[in-house]
Structure 1
């Protein structure tokens, strides 16, 4: 890659909204990883391996990131989707298509043993957020806000087809450092 050239990657992701018996959702908290004072939350999940189904990727990611083992058939249908561009630096842009599953689980303490090295640096804590706590930080959830979606899911509404979530992830802007993609021009191609 030449200096100044930006690498673009397409990525398919599976995410799981884990909600406990007290209606709290598990999110990973990050502070100062992207820059001093930059704070955000991340839903459990991540990129699929080659040939992996959404369900298999979701189950693998939940285990790697939390230590919780779940069976693919407990996930149910995809309840939401989002798509957009994000980056974690000036040399890489990722176009991501993310599918979300919803899963009720008994409260547990996440085990961080399976996190990748970068995730151990990025995720400063695993937090169970109550509905009001989630509503207060929803704009900071990567890759998309989930409070409204979870309100319906907690009440038993299962959307068909999946809900389309507005993309809310961040991208690098050389002039202003980090900026939400909603307000930033993504690369002109």
Structure 2
């Protein structure tokens, strides 16, 4: 059984995830446009990150996902610091899981060119766009953002005033 999934009578199937708010020196945030699993809804923009593997904690999963999805390597997992936000959201009915729990970390780094060299076949199919968004662009109409509310998560994280180092 998938350890990210808790199945019991009356309990929803839960996918635990670690997500990273990657901010460049100008305050723009890196987002990825991905399909929903069942592709029943339009693709939406979300932060890099993904499922927590067996034996991983949230920070280790965030470091791994950051590398796999962007090519960026952290020299020290502690560089992410403490989580800056947590969200538990209901997912659309057609999705494999009913609930997603997302733990967010904040990373400030100079803007970099993303590498897709370590994307899985599934990610190559699922990710349909990557771009840096200025904060005011997150308010623009016409784009679908992840249901956790990237805007509110980012606002919450910035209020926490965290900054990290430790990039290679």
Name the TM-score class by shorter chain. 0.7 to 0.9
- Unaligned segments of structure 2, at least 5 residues: 1-11, 162-168
Distance 1:133 1:52, change over 3 A: same
**2:89 maps to 1:84:** yes
Which structure would you say has the larger RCO, counting Cα contacts within 8 Å and 6 or more residues apart?
2
Q: Give me the CA root mean square deviation.
A: 2.6
Distance 1:31 1:58, change over 3 A: closer
Stretches of 4+ aligned residues off by more than 4 angstroms: none
Aligned to 1:75: 80
When the two structures are aligned, how many residues end up with a matched partner? 148
- The structure where strand makes up a greater share of residues is 1
- Unaligned segments of structure 1, at least 5 residues: 1-7, 160-189
Within 1, Cα distance between the matches of 2:107 and 2:73? 12
Within 2, Cα distance between the matches of 1:80 and 1:32? 22
Within 2, Cα distance between the matches of 1:133 and 1:47? 27
Residue-by-residue CA offset, 1:110-134 (whole Å, 9 max, x unaligned):
1012122222112112100001111
Aligned to 2:154: 150
Within 2, Cα distance between the matches of 1:11 and 1:30? 17
Aligned counterpart for 1:47 among listed residues 18, 36, 51: 51
Compare CA radii of gyration and give the structure with the larger one: 1
Contact 2:15/2:97, CA 8 A, preserved across alignment = no
| Helix, strand or coil at the partner of 1:60 | helix
Segment drifting more, 69-78 vs 138-147: 138-147
